[in-house]
A and B are shown apart, each in its own frame.
Chain A
Amino acid sequence: MRVVPVSAGDGTRRGILGTGIEQGLLLKPVTYPWAMELYDQAVANTWFPNEVQLGEDLGDFERMSDDERRALTFLMSYFNPNELLVNKALAFGVYPYVNAAECHLYLAKQMWEEANHCMSFEYVLETFPIDREAAYASHVTVPSMAAKEEFEIRYIKRMTEQTLDITTTEGKQDFVRNLIAYNVILEGIWFYSGFMVALSFRQRNLLRNFGSLIDWIVRDESLHLKFGINLVLTVLEENPDVATEEFAAEIKQMVLDAVEMEEAYNRDLLPNGILGLNADYINTYVRYLADRRLDELGFGAHYGVANPAKWMATANDTLQLVNFFESINTSYEVNARQG
């Protein structure tokens, strides 16, 4: 991905970061073709939740064990509000500071997709007999949840309550920090940990249509990740003052800290395992994911673990992120009480 800041026509050079009404209003010439391609792909992918016949899964829901129903409830309490949180992050922490019209187009589509995901989880809540308050409250008593929430609160407060001065190195670094927190960590690692649990129902011949809904959501998320990573890399390439060794070390540590938080959370939530999964299994997948994100950011892998879940196999093309075809290999089965 070659990035060439263009002349603003007044002798100055502009890059992907910028604010002000006079910028980002002309689509041509496209400066960042990767953003335009992602917009085209996102538009082509457009789907709606009611196209999935979720009601057909009600029979499965009735037959599921209490543990399995609790797992589904827990997932809804996690995903539903977080889609809206990501939307806030995009609106306040990303869109206002990006200069290129093609990036704005993609961000507008991504924000619609977050809304579509929120409504998809709403569709689940209103199709299955899940108590909404119980779903939301299921996280409150989990100690490690507070650490994750505190982490995200720190960044969303900065995004919603402060205006960044992106003409300064500090402002640009704050922009990148916010993007890492929301795009790479929340969307790119924590969400995928949840997707693994969500898709494990289908592995056990349960909730087939719910699995299809998650497939569509993951398809969108793979593009969100691609955009976010490209945005970070472009900012770093265009602003050499940002990518100091100290800052790079800080970003890498953010990701490693996020892995620790997620691992603690999974141990708290899955002490006995559910759905053929246990905390160790999911946490190995979390480390695998973190390695991929670190690799995409240019750091190289840190944990060096293999993907334990072939059914969450990734390919070089992240559009093929979920391939449950490989899941049917019995090696994915674990004793839920192991570890």
Chain B
Amino acid sequence: MSCLGFLTEQQRAALAASSSTDAAGVPLSAFTSPPASDGKTARVRALAASADPRIRESAALSYRAPDDVLVELAGDADAAVRRCVARNERTPVAVLHRLVDDPDPFVRGWVAAHPAVPSHVLDRLGADPDAAVRAVVTWARGWA
């Protein structure tokens, strides 16, 4: 649903004008996010210490999570938290190495799917006892 049905003729004209070459060259926004700060890091640490595993998942997925927090959460008792660590694109390779032997196949699968997974780790997961993990390895090798 494009919502064009809601627009007046003047609004459609404005839409057309905003698509013109000149107008399109001016970005709507700088798309900046608030800068990283000590306070933000402290916040992620506090989330990582939550008794609620759903909050710890958010910490594990955070792009601002410091490496030591990710190391700690890689050993979380809750598999869903460990999956989020493996899924976090900013998780360092050293932490991925730790997760490659995780008992949960979904964790191992997310390691295989990680953009920074080293090829030797992929080779190892290519022989994983779980068929779905091996399938993720096939997919992961499809990235140029």
Chain A contact residues, CB within 8 Å of chain B = 37, 40-41, 44-45, 47-51, 77-78, 81-82, 84-85, 119, 122-123, 126, 131-134, 136-140, 145-146, 148-150, 152-153, 190, 203, 205, 208, 212, 317, 319-320, 323-330
A149 contacts B3, C-beta separation under 8 Å:
yes
- Looking at B1, B32, B55, B139, the one whose CB has the most chain A CB atoms below 10 A away is B1
B4 contacts A319, C-beta separation under 8 Å:
no
Chain B interface secondary structure, helix, strand, loop or mixed? helix
Closest-CB distance, A172 to chain B (whole angstroms): 27
A49 contacts B24, C-beta separation under 8 Å:
no
In the assembled complex, which residues on chain A have CB atoms less than 8 Å from the CB atom of B27? 126
Task: Please tell me which one of the listed residues B18, B89, B135, B143 contacts residue A205 in the complex, with CB atoms under 8 A apart.
Answer: B143
Q: Mark B52-88, 1 if CB is under 8 A from A, else 0.
A: 1011011101010000000000000000100000000
The A/B interface has a contact count, at CB < 8 Å, of 112
Complexed CA–CA distance, A141 and B16 (Å): 17
Given A41-B54, A319-B54: A139 and B2 interface contact (C-beta under 8 Å) = yes
Complexed CA–CA distance, A123 and B110 (Å): 27
A330 contacts B28, C-beta separation under 8 Å:
no
Complexed CA–CA distance, A132 and B18 (Å): 8
Find the B residue at minimum CB distance from A148: B1
Complexed CA–CA distance, A188 and B34 (Å): 30
B63 contacts A51, C-beta separation under 8 Å:
yes
Complexed CA–CA distance, A134 and B52 (Å): 46
Closest-CB distance, A320 to chain B (whole angstroms): 7
B136 on the A face (CB < 8 A)? yes
- 18 A-B pairs, CB-CB below 8 angstroms? A48-B33, A77-B2, A78-B1, A81-B3, A122-B28, A123-B29, A132-B15, A133-B19, A138-B2, A148-B1, A149-B3, A149-B5, A150-B5, A190-B1, A319-B54, A325-B106, A325-B132, A328-B138
Given A205-B143, A325-B136, A328-B135: A140 and B2 interface contact (C-beta under 8 Å) = yes
Q: Mark B9-33, 1 if CB is under 8 A from A, else 0.
A: 0000001101100001001110111
Closest-CB distance, B71 to chain A (whole angstroms): 20
Chain A interface secondary structure, helix, strand, loop or mixed? helix
B80 contacts A132, C-beta separation under 8 Å:
no
In the assembled complex, which residues on chain A have CB atoms less than 8 Å from the CB atom of B143? 205, 208
B142 on the A face (CB < 8 A)? yes
Find the B residue at minimum CB distance from A329: B135
A126 contacts B28, C-beta separation under 8 Å:
yes
Task: Please tell me which one of the listed residues B1, B28, B29, B113 contacts residue A139 in the complex, with CB atoms under 8 A apart.
Answer: B1
Closest-CB distance, A145 to chain B (whole angstroms): 6
In the assembled complex, which residues on chain A have CB atoms less than 8 Å from the CB atom of B58? 41, 44-45
Complexed CA–CA distance, A101 and B73 (Å): 33
Complexed CA–CA distance, A154 and B75 (Å): 51
